[in-house]
Every structure is written in C-alpha cells, then in structure tokens.
A and B are shown apart, each in its own frame.
Chain A
Amino acid sequence: MGGRFGDGPVVPEDEGVIFHAGWHPRAMAVTVATGPLGQWNIDMSRHARECLAPKDYARFSYYEKWMAALANLLVDKGLVTRDELAGASEVQPSPLADHALTRARVAEVLARGGPVDRPSAVTPIFAAGDAVVTRALAENAEVPGGHTRLPAYAAGARGRILRQHGTHVFPDSNAHGQGEAPEPLYAVVFPASELWAHPEHPDDEVVLDLWQSYLSAAP
C-alpha cells in the first residue's frame, strides 16, 4: 500500500499506550507462542496474512488479521481441523504438544529470536555506489500469486546500492517451503523523484532492503 492515496491522517499516540483492547495482547501472544512449534517460518506467516481475502484484509483490524491468518495456517498445516475450529467435534490432543512453548522457555526464546543471515553460494554482483534497476513487476518470479518483498511502488525503479547487508534467507522461496535460498541483500536508495510524480523535496530519498534477485545493473 506504499504510496496509496486517501488513507487520511496518521494519529499519534502516547508512548504508554501499548494495546488498544483487552484481547489485543492475547492475540499477539498466542501468535508469538505458536511460532516455536516450528510448523511455519516468518515468511509463511506474513504470506498467510497477505492471502486473506481482500475484503477481509481491508475490514479487519491489525490483530484480527493476525488471528485470521493464524487460524488459516493452523488448518493448512494440519495442526487443527476445521471441525475443531468450528467447535463441531471433540478436541484431540496434538502430537506436537511436547513442543509447546513453556513459561520457563519464553525469555530464552524471545531473546534468541530468529536470525536470517546465512552463508550463501550466490556471489554478490553489486557494490556500494552501483546503479541498479528493480524488477519491472513486483511479483514472485516462481510462484503465481506468491510472496515477494518488492513493493509495487518501487517496481521498475532506478536506484543506487547504499550497502550490502550480507546474505539473507530469500522470502520468495522460503514462504513456499522451497528452501531458504540465501542470497545477497542490499540497502538500495531511490530518489523520491524516481518513485513519485510530485515529491515533496528535490533531495528526498527512500531506502529499501532488496535481494539480489530483484535487481539488475542499470543500463
């Protein structure tokens, strides 16, 4: 939705406001607690949110999207049945119950996180300062309708390599269970005038983190 018009004002809020309804923290924490079951990765869970029907994506609040995507993932991955979700059958204990996150492990699991830098056989072909062009289409090149992290507003745009971040897991592959396929990741800087017809300031810029597969050398 980057660059879209018509969304209205941004409403600031006090730093002490963390959640806006009693069920929000539970929605957050239930989602976080299911991650360590190891049945999906972060790219799959992002893609599950993107795959919600557009009318649901538009009408759901933030944590409603999380809940809906989690319910879909749980069924897709066979962790719960549709009947269980509907309350229409006896609940069967899960064979994965041994893997459930315990209170004692929470601090360690949150502190460990899930780093995505990996050794890669893909040789970096760009260096800081190189002029590059992004893919003309912000779509997954292998999977129709698949996950990608190139926003539509930056498709087919000319920018410059700011730095290489190392080699990271490639979401376009990892979201579809096709392997981590790590490759070079770059911070790429674009003049605002390359992205928008009416930039606010001649020197404004937007930086995106983009995988090598999204980029080619600028002619």
Chain B
Amino acid sequence: MPHDHDEPHSLLPSDPALRVKALETLLTRKGLIDPAAVDEIIDTYENRIGPRNGARVVARAWSDPAFHAALMADATAVVAEMGFYGRQGEHMMAVENTAQQHNMVVCTLCSCYPWPLLGIPPGWYKSDAYRARVVREPRRVLADFGVELPPETSVRVWDSTAEMRYLVIPRRPEGSEGMDEEALMALVSRDSMIGTGLARRP
C-alpha cells in the first residue's frame, strides 16, 4: 500500500516528542488507549523484563547439564517454565558458542529481538550500521565492541527473518568453576547473549 506525499503521519507535529504526545492524547480521548496501561507497559520493560532474565537462563545452562540439554532441545518450553515466555519471545532457540564457532544475532529487516529474555533492544541493535554490517563483516563489528576472535573460530550470524528468536549461550569463562548461579549471572552481559560480547572473566 504505497502512500502518496501527504501520508497521514505528516499531519502530526514534526517534533518527535510533540508527535508522540499528540498521538497519545488523541488515542486517549478516543478511548483507544488507557494512559495507565501505557505507564504499566513502560514500567514492565524498564523495571521487570530485561537481560537479567537471559543471564539466569545462561547461568543455569552452564551449571546444570540436564537443564542445558532441555534448553538446547526446546528452548521455548524451558524458558516458559521459568516465566520468560511472552511478547516477542514466542518461539525461542538457544545457540551455543564453541571454540570452533561463534554465534551472533541480528534482524536485518527490522529489529526482532527476544524481549522476554533480554528486554528492549539496545540502540545499536536497531541501528542501520549493525543491521547492514554484521551479516557481511561480523569481525569488524566485533572490533567495534573490543572483541577479537581467535583465527580458528568461524562466525555464524543468525538473521531473525521470521518469528524465531535467538539467545546466544556464550562460552563459560575459565576460572568460574564452582561458582553458583547468582555469581555466574554477573558474568553474563547482555551483549554476550546477542553475540557482540563474551562472558566476563571472574
């Protein structure tokens, strides 16, 4: 449905903050949204759903072989049992880094991202630069994050073109033997679960 030059959005104020305010006010007056529900959605993603969910999944996968096996076989069911099912995470798959292969996740077509496990995608994940470059030059993108892979490690980039959402399981760092789940979680950065980072060393 191509639009002509006067698309409806051009009728709103051009300043983005005023534009949102105008739209929210109009929708509220029409009864189509409830400002309290809008506040609740924001509170959910600012304070309750974020990358610590994913970090818990990774820490448990590192420390519990049965959990790890179940996660790799059916991630959707396993994370749902932990309460991490929901919008933009309806179909999950875990992909695991090894010495031979490093995984990275992108959505070149828009910004698909596993919200229930990682929260709102970071600005760079939604940027033209990341979306354009990571499929072609993943190592140069990793260099922007200060990450260098050994020459023998290949990269597999997952382009989220459908409703499958991917969680990278980073390699468990040396020196983390015997740490409990909470301590391991602190080693799992958000970026390590997208593939632009590695797990921290203890």
Contact = CB atoms under 8 A, between A and B. Distances in A.
Interface of A: 1-5, 7-13, 15, 17-23, 25-30, 32-34, 37, 42, 46-47, 49, 51-53, 56, 61-64, 67-72, 74-76, 79-80, 82, 84-87, 91-94, 96-97, 100-103, 105-107, 109-117, 145, 149-151, 153-154, 165, 168-169, 171, 185, 187, 189, 192, 195-196, 200-201, 203-211
B34 to A, nearest CB: 5
B129 A111 contact: no
A71 B19 CA distance: 10
B24 A151 contact: no
A200 B139 contact: yes
B195 interface: no
A62 to B, nearest CB: 5
B42 A94 contact: no
B181 interface: no
A185 B128 CA distance: 26
| Residue from the set A47, A67, A93, A105 with the largest chain B CB neighbour count within 10 Å | A67
Contacts of A64: 16, 19
Interface centre among B11, B41, B138 (most CB of A within 10 A): B41
Residue from B88, B135, B137 with most neighbouring chain A CB atoms (10 Å):
B135
Contacts of B130: 10
B8 A151 contact: no
A151 B160 CA distance: 11
A33 B145 contact: no
A196 B11 CA distance: 42
A92 B189 CA distance: 48
Interface of B: 1-3, 5, 7-9, 11-12, 16-17, 19-24, 26-27, 29-34, 36-42, 44-46, 49-51, 85-91, 93, 106, 108-111, 116, 119-120, 122-124, 126-141, 144-146, 154-164, 189-191, 196
Contacts of A86: 11-12
Contacts of B2: 51, 145
Contact of B41 (A33, A62, A114): A33
A37 B32 contact: yes
Given A17-B122, A71-B23, A2 B159 contact: yes
> Shortest 7 CB-CB distances between A and B: which pairs?
A97-B31, A2-B108, A203-B154, A209-B162, A68-B9, A71-B9, A75-B8
B192 to A, nearest CB: 10
Given A1-B128, A30-B27, A145-B2, A101 B133 contact: no
Contacts of B49: 110
A93 B144 contact: no
Nearest to A105: B37
A115 B8 CA distance: 30
12 contacts: A12-B191, A12-B196, A21-B16, A23-B17, A30-B24, A30-B27, A67-B20, A70-B23, A91-B29, A195-B135, A200-B139, A207-B158
